[in-house]
Amino acid sequence: MESINQNLSFDKVSVVYNRDVPDSLAFAKYTADLFISRNINARCDASSSLCNDASFVITVGGDGTLLKAARFYAPKSVPVFGINLGRLGFLAQANTDEIDFAVEKLFAGECRIEKRMMLSSFDGNTLALNDIVIKGDSFSRTSKLFLYINDKVVCDYLADGIIVSTPTGSTAYTLSAGGPVLSPDLDAIVIVPICPHTLTSRPLVIPSVDEIKISSCKTCNRLKMSSDGQDTIDVDSCDFIVIKKSSVYAKLVMLEKEGNEFYSVLRRKLKWGVSPER
């Protein structure tokens, strides 16, 4: 992760809302009006029809809305800022009661842009900010999955699937599957088997320059691969799924405010290291 201190471009602001999240459109309109009142070109766009020529994007919804926007705008080098309407909102920078405060911070330049590493597959046609997950096509049985790193055999897993994660995604599905938490400053990739059928299968943390290949056996007809838990495609089990660090980065806008550094957010939102109440 790299932090960039630079002014945001408000030439064309797109406030992205999720139709499936209650009140998302109402809060998106409220946010857009704060920019319009300053004579700035701002509009509301549904997450299902993202705007191609935005210079700055604000998402109103959960982490899923932000992840979708981040994947779409990363190749265009457009910064994304999140307002949380979901349950956790780990990547979001403001709740709905902080919209005015957050917008004032943005205008005052009291923010930074963090370049977050992404993963790519299928020659860059698939991008992920959090993770790429590979599973068999049958939910009633486990899959045998073969893992190669830099064309060297590492191991084979009898498991429900494999998660390949960025440091940003280490606090998401990877964490639930028993993986480690990585600071977004690290340039690394995490590989975590999902419910492996052996106690010797443990998460791997590898350099981001390494190339990962995953395939399965002929008895598994198809594999399913998902990006950030959203975009899912079917892959022939005998084909290699190649995953590596993407050449593009997501740009996430972070507010400069007390308690907004990574470890404070980890403690506050995930209750990390907090003793249970009596």
The domain boundary, picked from 109, 140, 171, lies at 109
Average pLDDT over residues 42-48: 96
Q: Are 8 and 77 in contact (CB under 8 A)?
A: no
Average pLDDT over residues 211-232: 87
Average pLDDT over residues 2-13: 76
Residues 17, 90: one domain? yes
Count the domains in the chain: 2
Cα–Cα–Cα angle for 50, 55, 56, rounded to 5 degrees: 75
Return the structure tokens found at 257. Answer: 């405010």
pLDDT of residue 140: 62
* Within a domain: 261: no
Residues 124, 95: one domain? no
* Within a domain: 125: yes
Write down the mean pLDDT value for the chain: 91
Question: Which residue, 265, 260, 262, 254, is CA-closest to 111?
Answer: 254
* Within a domain: 224: yes
Residues 78, 170: one domain? no
Average pLDDT over residues 241-247: 96
- 64 or 257, which is more confident? 64
Return the structure tokens found at 28. Answer: 């998106």
The boundaries of the domain holding residue 82 are 2-109
- 201: pLDDT strictly greater than 70: yes
Residues 129, 242: one domain? yes
- Residue 218 pLDDT grade (very low, low, confident, very high; cuts 50, 70, 90): low
CA 78 – CA 9 distance, rounded (Å)? 9
* Within a domain: 104: yes
The domain boundary, picked from 80, 109, 138, lies at 109
pLDDT of residue 244: 97
Residues 12, 46: one domain? yes
* DSSP structure class, residue 5: -
* Within a domain: 263: no
Q: How much is the pTM?
A: 0.92
- Residue 95 pLDDT grade (very low, low, confident, very high; cuts 50, 70, 90): very high
- Residue 270 pLDDT grade (very low, low, confident, very high; cuts 50, 70, 90): confident
* Within a domain: 260: no
Active site annotation includes 210 = no
Question: If you search the block for the tokens 């597959």, which residue do you land on?
Answer: 121
**In this predicted model, what pLDDT tens digit does every residue of 135-187 receive, in sequence order?**
987 666 788 899 999 999 999 999 999 999 999 999 999 999 999 999 999 99
Maximum alpha-carbon separation in the chain: 61
Question: Which residue, 190, 212, 230, is CA-closest to 61?
Answer: 230
- 216 or 113, which is more confident? 113
Average pLDDT over residues 218-244: 86
Q: Which residues 6+ apart lie within 8 Å of 90 measured at CB?
A: 63, 171, 172, 265, 269, 270
The domain boundary, picked from 109, 138, 171, lies at 109
CA 42 – CA 39 distance, rounded (Å)? 9
- 220: pLDDT strictly greater than 70: no
Residues 239, 136: one domain? yes
Q: Which residues 6+ apart lie within 8 Å of 140 measured at CB?
A: none
Domain CATH code at residue 25: 3.40.50.10330
pLDDT of residue 277: 65
Residues 189, 78: one domain? no
Residues 99, 131: one domain? no
Average pLDDT over residues 26-37: 97
Residues 17, 78: one domain? yes
**In this predicted model, what pLDDT tens digit does every residue of 252-266 receive, in sequence order?**
999 998 878 888 888
- Residue 101 pLDDT grade (very low, low, confident, very high; cuts 50, 70, 90): very high
Least confident of 54-63, 73-82, 223-232, 233-242: 233-242
Which of 63, 131, 160, 228 is labelled catalytic?
63
Residues 23, 91: one domain? yes
Residues 81, 125: one domain? no
Residues 149, 222: one domain? yes
Domain CATH code at residue 195: 2.60.200.30
